[in-house]
Amino acid sequence: MLDLVVELASSGGEGCSYVDVRWVERTLERLTVSGGRVERVLSEQDEGIGVRVAARSGGFGFAATRDTSRAGGLAALRRATAIASSQPSAALRPLAPVVPGRGAWAGRCEIDPFAESIEARLELLLRADALLGGDPRIVRTQAESIAVRTRKAFASSEGAAFTQELTECGGGIEAHAADGDDVQIRSYPSAHGGSVAAAGYEHLLGLDLVGNARRVAEEAVALLLAPECPAGRTTLVLGDEQVALQVHESIGHALELDRIQLGEASYAGTSWVSPGDIGHLRYGSDDLRISADATLAGGLGSFGWDDEGVAGQRTMLIDSGILRAALSDRTSAASLGLTSSGGCARADGFSRQPIVRMTNVSIEPGRSGTLAELIGGVENGIYMETNRSWSIDDRRLHFQFATEVGREIRGGELGRLVKNASYAGLTPEFWGSLDGVCSASDWRVWGLLNCGKGEPGQVAHVSHGAAPARFRNVQVGVARR
């Protein structure tokens, strides 16, 4: 397929100053079991070509087709050119320079998940699901796994020509417990689909869903009996998965340069950060160090080249609390006067055009040791883990999160369980209150499969390296009935 996309990109659309062509083939299998039975096995395959052009009249046009023949590709090229030309005229938006990528890249995959039989994969899930049930207060159990393989070929009129292949695999379990009008949920290893990595079946096996199932069910039931999370301001320690989501929502999205430049104001929103803040804004305390790394092993945001052909790279976004860089694509980078893109242009399949996306935006490991050592520094506070609910405003400034589990901290040790745990804050104030991040021993990479942005909507898979972290004087217990 590389030959075809090279030919199409080289043909140059009439009246166009730039053309790029992507072929994408995606295979997905999702297995779900619930209540001791197979609930659904879903297998999806699609492929197609997306053609993006920059018209000399100033507009960009993008056309996607499932017709992967030469004729289909040429028709898409004509369509992209036509819709670019139909837009109101505007000043030509330049693209930041790029060294055209050439070659091939593949992500890590030790055990091909698609080569494992469906029966074997279901057996694993059914064993875990069986251990979730038993208590009459458990009203729903679920175990699921997912495997995705994406193959791409890309070429541009500037000479880029490469192929890429990425395998993603993972899963998780959850139990819902109910008593009267109280419903509690407990998940493992994380909420919203479990843990997924750029890896093969070995990642799912390493999660030990079966070994954790009984504990998950017991905690779901225990939450029914737990007292409500207290309300007030206190010291908050977050588990690494919740830190990952906190980074995602209040740092990653806020540092997307298209949002900062108001390009996403109509949907995803803008940012509390201004273009002029880069280089000197204090985003958080000295303990806050954030990287964007498209070369991170196992990261869902890892690649050889982004969907504009910019090589994957590692960039420090925030260092010692100071904002150093933003996430950019070629258009937003050029608009800011940067000499190169940050390599963050990503598209959801063949039928969407690349937009600024996170790669793997991570909080760097700190020096606070283990979670127990971090909690040891808290006289009174609350520990929260596993996301249950999330919301943040369109400038990524005011957020409110709830977690499945909370535990009181007394005298440097974890105490009793509390339910309906929640906290809220303002982004710079919250990250300014950060006074401890666990060390590399407690730092893990968490994958998210549900990051929505763009119109038509695009869902991105991204990862975040995170470790448990401690925040002082945070408002908790904010989401009560």
Residue from the set 3, 14, 46, 112 that interacts with other proteins by CB under 8 A = 46
Local structure of residue 146 (DSSP, 8 states): E
Pick 176 or 444: Cβ nearer other proteins? 176
The HSE-up count of residue 84 (CA atoms within 13 Å, CB side) is 29
Alpha-carbon distance of 241 to 359, in angstroms, equals 17
Which 367-396 residues touch other proteins, going by CB under 8 A?
Answer: 388-395
Provide, rounded to whole angstroms, the least separation between the CB of residue 172 and other proteins.
Answer: 14
Pick 152 or 289: Cβ nearer other proteins? 152
Q: Choose one: 163-171, 302-310, 419-427, 465-473; the region binding other proteins (CB under 8 A).
A: 419-427
Could you say whether residue 119 binds other proteins (CB under 8 A)?
yes
The HSE-up count of residue 307 (CA atoms within 13 Å, CB side) is 28
Which 420-459 residues touch other proteins, going by CB under 8 A?
Answer: 420, 422, 424, 426, 452, 455-459
Pick 108 or 395: Cβ nearer other proteins? 395
Question: By CB under 8 A, how many residues form the interface with other proteins?
Answer: 84
Q: Would you say 133 and 217 are in contact if contact means Cβ atoms under 8 Å apart?
A: yes
Q: Which two tokens stand for residue 105?
A: 């890249």
Residue from the set 18, 23, 60, 283 that interacts with other proteins by CB under 8 A = 60
Q: Which two tokens stand for residue 145?
A: 């796994």
User: Which residues partner with 106 through β-bridges?
Assistant: 165
Residue type, 240: D
Residue type, 200: G
Rg (CA), the chain: 23
Q: Would you say 3 and 73 are in contact if contact means Cβ atoms under 8 Å apart?
A: no
CA angle 372, 376, 378 (to 5 degrees): 125
Pick 61 or 312: Cβ nearer other proteins? 61
Local structure of residue 328 (DSSP, 8 states): -
Pick 267 or 297: Cβ nearer other proteins? 267
Pick 86 or 473: Cβ nearer other proteins? 86
Which 323-342 residues touch other proteins, going by CB under 8 A?
Answer: none
Local structure of residue 212 (DSSP, 8 states): H
Which 168-227 residues touch other proteins, going by CB under 8 A?
Answer: 176, 178, 181-183
Which 241-280 residues touch other proteins, going by CB under 8 A?
Answer: 262-267, 269
Q: Would you say 210 and 123 are in contact if contact means Cβ atoms under 8 Å apart?
A: no
Provide, rounded to whole angstroms, the least separation between the CB of residue 75 and other proteins.
Answer: 9
Could you say whether residue 34 binds other proteins (CB under 8 A)?
yes
Pick 88 or 337: Cβ nearer other proteins? 88
Q: Which two tokens stand for residue 160?
A: 């880029």
Residue from the set 6, 19, 63, 317 that interacts with other proteins by CB under 8 A = 63
